[in-house]
Amino acid sequence: MPAHLLHGDSYLVSRALKELQEQIGPPEALEANSHTLSGSRTNLAEITTFCNAMPFLAEYRLVVVEGLLSQSEAREGRRRGDTSSGRSTPTGSDHRPAGAGRNSQSAWEELPRYIEEEMPPSTLLVFMESSLSRRNPLLQKLQPIVQVQELPTPSGEGLARWVRNRVTEKGAQITPGAIRLLTQLVGGNLRTVDNELEKLTLYARERAIEEGDVRLLVSQAREASIFSAVDALLEGRPAVALQLMHRLRDDGAEFPYIVAMIARQLRLTTLARDLIDRNHGEKDIGSRLGINQDFVLRKTVEQARKHSASSLEWLYRSLLDADLAVKRGRLEQDLALELLVSESSGLVAASGRRRQR
């Protein structure tokens, strides 16, 4: 079978992989013939070893490689950055970066030839990636010989259409107003949207999903988790903060969504804190910040009154640092959340010691 490259929205990529799996056989046949490799840890020899293995009591073997091309893109970006800043990598073997021999650009030169000339027809090789630049060096080499599916996250009318289609697939109906409110509350995180749609279809049963259903099931629960997570971070309750963040992850929320939601709430709370210090009332704060939901306004004002502007600013900067570290490949997502929680706990403890002196 041909090799495939799926890149773009993580939820759409995972659904596309599932469709490929369904094409090559039943789940029980794939259990002993499916392998997933991490692009940051694997090498060409390991990939070819798995690909060359004959399927066990099945027609096909599935080999999935996650994040290989993203690693290539990150290395290329760092190389350009080093070149533009005048830095150079030492040429001596003692100064070779960890993993350079395994994952350097030259280490993958033979991959396209292997796929085209040597990979058994009984193997389905799938590369799974986030969004890739068209200038990605490995993408340019693989594009002529693999089936590429670019799956960007839909937005605007495209997102509304996607929601309608998913609801139809679930055997339900939804009103335009409910679609609009759902996408406003959840955004473009398709995995989270789909999880919410599952709950909404079960709740609405035979009737169409309406705006009231979305308000009841989606907004307060998710907003409450974000408020509670921010409170726990600012108050030095690391176990609670981490539990809430993991709950959001378990509910389908990915790292960028959690960061965006917490950053949004921190921004609103910081602005509300400033308005409170200037003696503005709650209604005026809601009007100035564009907060239309009573629940969100009430919780934002409560949070602003509990925390100082300096604490809010510190957490906001720490959150941006964590997000940048993940985007640059320096930290795994879960580790970045744990470090953020740990650092916030340390800051609160240090602040408490200063107040006791």
Going from N- to C-terminal start, the domains of the chain cover: 4-73+107-151, 154-209, 215-350
Residue identified by tokens 């799974």 is 128
Tell me which range, 75-79, 163-167, 219-223, is most confidently predicted by mean pLDDT. Answer: 163-167
Q: How many whole angstroms from its chain centre is CA 348?
A: 28
Q: Name the residue with higher pLDDT: 309 or 221.
A: 309
Q: Would you call 227 helix, strand, or coil by DSSP?
A: helix
The pLDDT of residue 100 is 40
* Residue 86 burial (C-beta neighbours within 10 Å; 0-12, 13-18, 19+): exposed
DSSP 154: P
pLDDT score of 353 more than 80: no
Can you read off the two tokens belonging to residue 100? 């350079």
pLDDT score of 91 more than 50: no
Rounded CA separation 59/218 (Å): 44
Rounded CA separation 345/231 (Å): 12
The pLDDT of residue 97 is 35
Rounded CA separation 158/178 (Å): 15
Please tell me the CATH code under which domain 215-350 is placed: 1.20.272.10
Fold designation for 154-209: Helicase, Ruva Protein; domain 3 (1.10.8)
The pLDDT of residue 294 is 75
* Tens-place pLDDT, residues 310-325: 888 888 888 888 888 8
Local confidence band at 222 (pLDDT 50, 70, 90 cut-offs): low
The contacts of residue 68 (CB under 8 Å, 6+ apart) are 39, 42, 108, 127, 129, 138
The pLDDT of residue 14 is 93
* CA-based end-to-end distance of the chain: 70
Hey, CA dihedral for 309, 312, 314, 317, is it positive or negative?
Answer: negative
Q: Which CATH superfamily is domain 4-73+107-151 in?
A: P-loop containing nucleotide triphosphate hydrolases (3.40.50.300)
Give the global pTM: 0.60
pLDDT score of 66 more than 70: yes
The pLDDT of residue 76 is 56
Q: Name the residue with higher pLDDT: 201 or 283.
A: 201
**Bridge partners of residue 63, in order along the sequence:** 35, 125
CB atoms within 10 A of CB 199: 14
Rounded CA separation 121/107 (Å): 24
Tell me which range, 25-29, 248-252, 348-352, is most confidently predicted by mean pLDDT. Answer: 25-29
Can you read off the two tokens belonging to residue 263? 């950053």
